[in-house]
Structure 1
Amino acid sequence: MTQERVAMIRERLQQALPVQHLDVEDESHLHVGHAGAKDGGGHFRVLVVSDAFDGLAPLKRHRLVYDAMGDAMRRDTIHALSIRALTPAEYERETA
């Protein structure tokens, strides 16, 4: 189930955005017993690098990611999503 959810997140982001780099981590094991986890929703952390974020404030970048997730955010698939949304230039500075 976990790998299926990670694959779904990757697929949705890659379909919605011109992605240059993408990391998706399932952190659900860190939240066992958490109220949201009881309903089966997972906790995920994403790092997505895309030109689509150029010139956008963090809130608008996050909105693009949430829009890509669509109904997965409103079902029992994703309970929490931690997002790092960077432009390629920002990512290059971080990894240089």
Structure 2
Amino acid sequence: MAIQAEICTALAVFSPTVLEVINESAQHAGHAGDDGSGESHWRIMIASAQFDDMSRIARHRAIHAALGPDIIGRIHALAIDIK
């Protein structure tokens, strides 16, 4: 399964009303962290009622926990936009 699909599956736990997983790896080709896989840099845009009472840090921690060490370990950069 491609990382994009794995990210979407992992984040379904939040029942998001908005979920976009954008591969930004091409913008970073040749830069530090580019492993040549084409799946090293990602942006997540997500909205979920589950984030309403969380601080910004708690939201990011929850997303990282949902993704787990396997997914996090295979990417170099993750930008998170919470709506």
TM-score range, shorter chain: 0.7 to 0.9
Aligned AA (2:8) = R
TM-score w.r.t. length of structure 1? 0.75
**Higher helix fraction: Structure 1 or Structure 2?**
1
The residue correspondences of 1:17-96 to structure 2 (distance < 5 A) are: 17-38=14-35, 40=37, 42-71=40-69, 72-74=71-73, 77-86=74-83
Moved over 6 A (4+): none
**Higher strand fraction: Structure 1 or Structure 2?**
1
Quote the Cα distance in structure 2 between the aligned partners of 1:39 and 1:54. 37
Quote the Cα distance in structure 1 between the aligned partners of 2:35 and 2:20. 25
Aligned AA (1:30) = Q
- Residue 5 in structure 1 maps to residue 11 in structure 2: no
Aligned residues: 81
Shift of 1:39: 7.0
Quote the Cα distance in structure 2 between the aligned partners of 1:69 and 1:85. 15
- Gap runs ≥5 in structure 1: 87-96
Quote the Cα distance in structure 1 between the aligned partners of 2:81 and 2:11. 13
Quote the Cα distance in structure 2 between the aligned partners of 1:39 and 1:67. 26
Quote the Cα distance in structure 2 between the aligned partners of 1:59 and 1:39. 30
Aligned AA (1:65) = I
Instruction: Please give the root-mean-square deviation of Cα atoms over the aligned residues, in Å.
Output: 1.7
Instruction: Calculate percent identity across the aligned residue pairs.
Output: 35
Based on CA coordinates, which of the two structures has the bigger radius of gyration?
1
